[in-house]
Amino acid sequence: MSFTRAELESFRDAEVPDLIGPDCRLLFVGINPGLWSAATETHFARPGNRFYPALLTAGIIERAIDPADGMSVADRSYLVERGVGITNLVSRATARADELTAPELASGAERLRVVVRDNTPRVVAIAGVTAYRTAFGNRGAKTGKQPRRFEGAELWVVPNPSGLNAHENVATLAAVYRKVAIEAGVVSG
């Protein structure tokens, strides 16, 4: 599947539904959906995004998922059965995360509190340290396990899998994602 720029722009401000099952143990939190994700109603769907390859390399999933054309019902069910959920800090789609305002991110942190209370995952993994710092008002935060729990869950800040994050590759993302998956009980250590 491919989209023209105009087609993608038509999805600006659209929302992608959360993917969270009843036994969510590990909740990944993106910054907000991109336009491709909104067009396909699938988190981390843009071709080149390293999220699903990193999950596979980390052993969180045992088969490849290619969401570029939208995720199949079987793939969604598979993630839910594995105890993996996905949401975003901010629900509205933009071309780039830097289009979001600080108040939007702070409001997203409050929305996330409700999502975590309602779904009780063991671990919450927020993908993006800069967005986390802004959303939670913690300018000195670093990636890794955070010192305080978040609504009863362990809180981690993990690298964002976007291709724009040139400091990371599938292997480095997988190493961090595996740590959070072990902590959540999704994979064994």
Locus of tokens 């994602």: 177
> What's the mean per-residue pLDDT of the chain?
95
CA distance 134 to 82: 31
Q: For 96-152, give the DSSP string.
A: SGGGS-HHHHHHHHHHHHHHHHHH--SEEEEE-HHHHHHHHT-TT--SEE-SS-BTT
Token pair recorded at residue 173: 């993302």
Res. 29: pLDDT tops 90: yes
Residue 37 CB-density burial (10 A; 0-12 exposed, 13-18 middle, 19+ buried): buried
Cα 154 off chain centre by: 16
The domain of 82 spans: 5-184
- Residue 189 maps to a domain: no
pTM for the complete prediction?
0.96
pLDDT of 109 over the 80 cut: yes
Is 179 within a domain? yes
Q: Any idea how long the chain is?
A: 189
Domain count along the chain: 1
